[in-house]
Chains A and B, each alone.
Chain A
């Protein structure tokens, strides 16, 4: 057997196996540390701080859990959220994340390691990303082999699509959910392969953990039944499938119903019906198989088939009927928006207003996945070539997740694992083909080419290859090798167009495929290594530049290149916390609700848990109405302070004026007679300068944003740096509100709602009187109007 390069032959198989095992452990440890390290950019560039919006709520809830214990947390009613409604926190959250942190916190404290709960929360996501890498390794190992597993682990460890949701400080449900997703899938594949009720139960337990941790558990709830259904339709029903699915479904569903927020949803909502239906179908098919095993009459089989179809139809129409009668809740709006991207914008503007619910722009596929996105289809094709049960799973997963990732930016996250797995399978097949030192035998191709002996010999030589270790250890593994070897040849053919003509000559003998010479291998492998290196560079760059900003703290660069921290949010929130009454209600747009609750510790009207559209629309209405109309709304809701975000001075584009149209739209959804979106445009243009429409100029949001802004520029023309428009020198005036605090760069502006005038006058008149203006005759009528409004 000719070889492209010599391999040592005097090694015992045990030594090779042990060395390979050690190398794998070391590689996994290095991958884990790389995964953790690359997520620490945020901590190093800024500090150990909770990021963005939702994490602030999770952090606050975790602090309650850590300081008051689990039962207090479970029964926690938060009167400060959604003032005056309050929020039953224990029953409206997925507690898995907080429980995880709480458990870690308690374990560390029991070991006398008094780590601050904030640091646990900040570092939870990086920690779990190491677990995710391991779970992906295990999953991919089931697909191909250990080397593909290691590649997949390395990919998922640093791929930006996953890092975007799991940097240090991004303390959100996704932080642990991706690990749970991958591990549940791994356990499912394991259960399916072995027909093991034990692995089915493990899958169910991790499914339960997933249900407790993330609303995206519905993805698993539908993926596994879909897989089972496809397997059944392909005629691949086996008792292993029956055992695996039944144990997973029965235990998983019962367990998931223990989460209060989920409750009876697994039997009452349409999203979960697929799992139930497949479970029923599986029982019918299993029963049919049982009967067929005992009865041989062809006629009876026909009857049985009819019975199966009949029962299936009854089950299906039963579910439809129950849905129609209202016993089973129909699809929710969020679900519809997955199928019709225009749906949310039309009917639920509050969902559409979230930027991460927008359809994905295609460059972001490259941004988030880099070269994996090219390898991904190749990997899926590889799966088709082998097509065992678990490969069907990957194919379904790939198709479904690709669709969802195209619909919503946020669902890029669920696509990422399967991309890593497929790409790893593809790349590792390529590497297998080119690292294998065996050269095809040209001379006596007629004799040996078609015998399986060459394949066996090949796999036995590859036992000594460190790059593809452990193959050939068991007979099952060598089967893997056998099936993947021709696949490598296919890619080898693809690459050979560039590399050499040796394979082209070889293609004359279709049964004997392989690569000649060292140069071919080196060229291809160097290319591969180059791609991998570029991938690492890209991931590091994207992570450090795009995904590691806490968004609570902004940073800019000074003229000398040093970092300048813009800390307006925390400045204003801290001011609220220290210098206002503890029960002072703060009104702001819902984006800032969790941050105010977390950092300023004050009651808020609305927050990021957008469960009550009317309440949010009320805030939207107050923001988009003139002062006279807004004031009674504010007073009715006991609002003491109104907080707006204004980026016009330093050019912070995520400010409230840019979000304002969503406020208008959401308010319009509830009060279509009073708030109309077109009123805020001037001939179709959204303007804030002197050409702004009257409704825009009178609304509370505009007034609060630009109050005294022009005076800051003195005699120069005031410019809004976000919108690039010139603001009129005569700024808006406020009668019912009073500026209470403005942060250093004017990003956060807080206004106090004035109390009623002591003399019972309308505040506008009182203000005019204070400024020495003459009272106009027409005022009293407007005053009565304002009070009755």
Chain B
């Protein structure tokens, strides 16, 4: 309801704007199929556009997302169907009539008239679902609601389009039946079979402001979700590179929240224990997490503000040489201090060491080190609202350059001073927002360390010790007594 009111002014603006000129459209969509995988924090949407060119020499195709959709979408990529290489996408921003947000896709090759191509747009939406009802007791199932627009927006005319909404469990409480869509429908406006709800097919859609004001409508699906809805409010990752120790230490400060329905009433240990006794877990209660750490992990630690958390297991795998593909991960099973129920928070810190040679490469010709640091350790099904990755390079590193696997919010350089540093270490700080399971990848940093920088620490420490001994040596030989014996 709230969402609908929010979009109302948009619709009004859209209605006032001049309509599209129909004549000069370069493309038409022969079919659009959108399939939505309902989840907790993350909703995966995959939209397939069957494109036909109407004008010759087309190199760019435009995809339109509604503004609300764009705000929810934290990751997207476009591929030609069946291929793995993503196409180049430029964000154009709002279109003139402010119906939606335009993405411009560079096609792999020019399309001639009547040339066809199947494009797949994959997006991940975050914060797209909300618990409904907002409060639930410990025993009640976890019900979520997802809302989207009924019609898939596109700047071009669409012959037929269809939306599939797939829930992870067949237990769907309710879904919207669209209204005023008879003119586009041949069979039924919506059908449900099992866990899948299909809207459409709808025929002959021509998006413009008038159409949107008249027919575009929100659909909502109210469904049962069997996993904890996890939200990482903040993630602070610190990666510290030590050449002397040949070690890469990665430490994550995590503030985790169960974003499912807030617990109504109170937590009863008795019920929790009887549930676990009868193996009937309320699956939306987070009682453990399984994380995949890189192979060759040593010295893993897991603590929070009250000290070490003794309830975790680490299954190590041997380290693999850089470049070769890891066949196994080290698996870290974390158990929070207490089961995290809906609306509860849990903050903790985990960290581990990996051999430096697994992630750094050295080019002897120009003396450049290249290191890859993973942006984050994936917490399955969780969205990371705010992430900050700080990469601390060795003391005296120069010519620091870095490449992020996806655009960062901001990047800064700073100086980090730690054990026995004299001038401090350069650090790269990158900030990100709304990270999902698609935002994996490495931040690559390249730097040079002169040999003199390596010697800085041992020299300064030995100088300090030498001065202490020298002082003691002299102090013993100075006689300050007034009365000499």
Contacts and interface: CB of A to CB of B under 8 A. Distances in A.
Given A740-B266, A740-B267, A574 B305 contact: yes
B422 A565 contact: no
A365 interface: no
Contacts of A573: 306
A112 interface: yes
Given A47-B307, A112-B419, A112-B421, A752 B337 contact: no
B308 interface: yes
A47 B308 contact: yes
A111 B305 CA distance: 26
Contacts of B304: 574
Contacts of A565: 310
Interface in B408-447: 417-422
Contacts of B290: none
Contact of B266 (A571, A741, A744, A746): A741
Contacts of B273: 712
B357 to A, nearest CB: 27
Interface in B307-360: 307-311, 337-338, 343-347
B273 to A, nearest CB: 7
B344 A578 contact: yes
A739 B305 CA distance: 25
A711 interface: yes
Contact of A571 (B270, B305, B337): B337
Contacts of A114: 417-419
Interface string A531-553: 00000000000000000000001
Interface of A: prevailing SS? mixed
Interface string A706-727: 0010011000000000000000
B483 interface: no
A66 to B, nearest CB: 16
A579 B337 CA distance: 13
B109 interface: no
B306 A578 contact: no
B305 A49 contact: no
Find the residue from A112, A712, A746 having the highest chain B CB count within 10 A: A112
B420 A577 contact: no
A741 B338 CA distance: 10
B268 interface: yes
Interface residues of A, number: 32
A679 to B, nearest CB: 30
A402 interface: no
A570 interface: yes
Interface string A732-753: 0000001111111010000010
A574 B338 CA distance: 8
B241 to A, nearest CB: 17
Contacts of A711: 270
Interface string A477-519: 0000000000000000000000000000000000000000000
A574 B269 contact: no
A576 to B, nearest CB: 10
A752 B418 contact: no
A671 interface: no
A567 interface: yes
B270 A712 contact: yes
Contacts of B310: 553, 565, 567
Find the residue from A114, A567, A578 having the highest chain B CB count within 10 A: A578
Contacts of A47: 307-308
Contacts of A567: 309-311, 337
Nearest to B339: A744
B305 A577 contact: yes
Contact of B420 (A111, A578, A743): A111
B267 A574 contact: no
Nearest to B346: A578
A112 B418 contact: yes
Contact of B345 (A572, A579, A599): A579
A297 B305 CA distance: 78
A577 B307 CA distance: 13
Interface string A292-312: 000000000000000000000
A578 B266 contact: no
Find the residue from B270, B306, B347 having the highest chain A CB count within 10 A: B306
A574 B306 CA distance: 7
B240 to A, nearest CB: 12
Nearest to A567: B310
Contacts of B338: 571-572, 574-575, 741, 743-744
B420 A570 contact: no
A47 B305 CA distance: 14
A665 B224 CA distance: 54
A113 interface: yes
Interface in A41-56: 47-49
Given A111-B420, A741-B267, A743-B269, A578 B308 contact: no
A112 B266 contact: no
Find the residue from B269, B305, B307, B419 having the highest chain A CB count within 10 A: B307
A570 B307 contact: yes
A276 to B, nearest CB: 34
Contacts of A741: 266-267, 269, 338
Contacts of B418: 112, 114
A573 B305 CA distance: 10
Nearest to A118: B307
Nearest to B272: A742
B365 to A, nearest CB: 34
Nearest to A566: B310
A579 B269 contact: no
Interface string A562-599: 00010100111111011100000000000000000001
Given A112-B417, A578-B346, A599 B306 contact: yes
A226 B270 CA distance: 62
Contacts of B306: 570, 573-574, 577, 599
Contacts of A744: 269, 338
A742 B347 contact: no
Interface string A96-116: 000000000000000111100
Find the residue from A599, A740, A744 having the highest chain B CB count within 10 A: A744
A733 to B, nearest CB: 14
A740 B265 CA distance: 8
A47 B347 CA distance: 19
Contacts of B343: 579
Contacts of A572: 338
Interface in A12-49: 47-49
Given A47-B308, A112-B420, A570-B306, A739 B337 contact: no
B268 to A, nearest CB: 6
A579 B344 contact: yes
A571 B336 CA distance: 9
B307 to A, nearest CB: 5
7 tightest CB-CB pairs across the interface, nearest first? A742-B269, A565-B310, A570-B306, A47-B308, A571-B337, A578-B345, A49-B307
Given A112-B418, A574-B305, A744-B338, 5 more contacts: A48-B307, A49-B307, A114-B418, A579-B343, A708-B270
19 contacts: A47-B308, A49-B308, A111-B420, A114-B419, A567-B310, A567-B311, A575-B344, A577-B306, A578-B344, A578-B345, A578-B346, A578-B347, A579-B345, A599-B305, A712-B270, A712-B273, A740-B267, A742-B268, A752-B266
Interface of B: 265-270, 273, 304-311, 337-338, 343-347, 417-422
Interface of A: 47-49, 111-114, 553, 565, 567, 570-575, 577-579, 599, 708, 711-712, 738-744, 746, 752
